[in-house]
């Protein structure tokens, strides 16, 4: 089983994505996820996805276009750590929700 993508943003295409399987989340949660992804993409560039791993825990993945010479991997990693710290409570609740929904507990 692959990771399940919750949401993501792409700075190259200036797009945000929320998996339709999570459309029932409260509007406030969806807005907070969108803001976090879009701000990350604007600040660090590249592509960010917030995913659930096989155990139901949140993982943040980042990548960049190989032709993006301005992308700074170190800065992007620092932004990921900051995002994980700032959204620790939200990500914990989303992880619990996912685990219950998918009977992983």
As for how many domains the chain has, the answer is 1
pLDDT per position as a tens digit, 8-31: 999 999 999 999 999 999 999 999
| Confidence bin at 3 (pLDDT 50/70/90) | very high
CB 94 within 8 A of CB 29: yes
Instruction: Please tell me the pTM assigned to this model.
Output: 0.93
Write out the residue range of the structural domain in which residue 14 sits. Answer: 4-101
In total, the chain counts a number of residues equal to 105
Whose CA is closest to 19, among 41, 1, 34, 39?
Answer: 34
pLDDT for res 88:
97
pLDDT per position as a tens digit, 36-81: 999 999 999 999 999 999 999 999 999 999 898 889 999 999 999 9
| Three-state SS annotation for 69-89 | CCCCHHHHHHHHHHHHHHCHH
The first and second tokens of residue 98, run together, are: 């996912």
The first and second tokens of residue 9, run together, are: 């943003």
pLDDT for res 32:
97
pLDDT for res 70:
87
Could you tell me whether strands 4-10 and 58-63 are parallel, antiparallel, or unpaired per DSSP bridges?
Answer: unpaired
pLDDT for res 1:
63
């Amino acid at each position: 089983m692959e990771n399940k993508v919750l949401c993501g943003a792409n700075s190259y295409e200036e797009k945000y994505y929320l998996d339709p399987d999570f459309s029932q989340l409260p509007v406030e949660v969806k807005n907070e996820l969108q803001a976090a992804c879009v701000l990350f993409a604007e600040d660090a560039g590249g592509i960010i996805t917030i995913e659930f791993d096989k155990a139901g825990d949140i993982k943040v993945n980042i990548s960049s276009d190989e032709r993006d010479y301005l992308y700074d991997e170190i800065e992007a990693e620092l932004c990921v750590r900051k995002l994980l710290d700032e959204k620790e409570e939200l990500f914990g609740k989303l992880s619990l929700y996912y685990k219950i929904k998918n009977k992983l507990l």
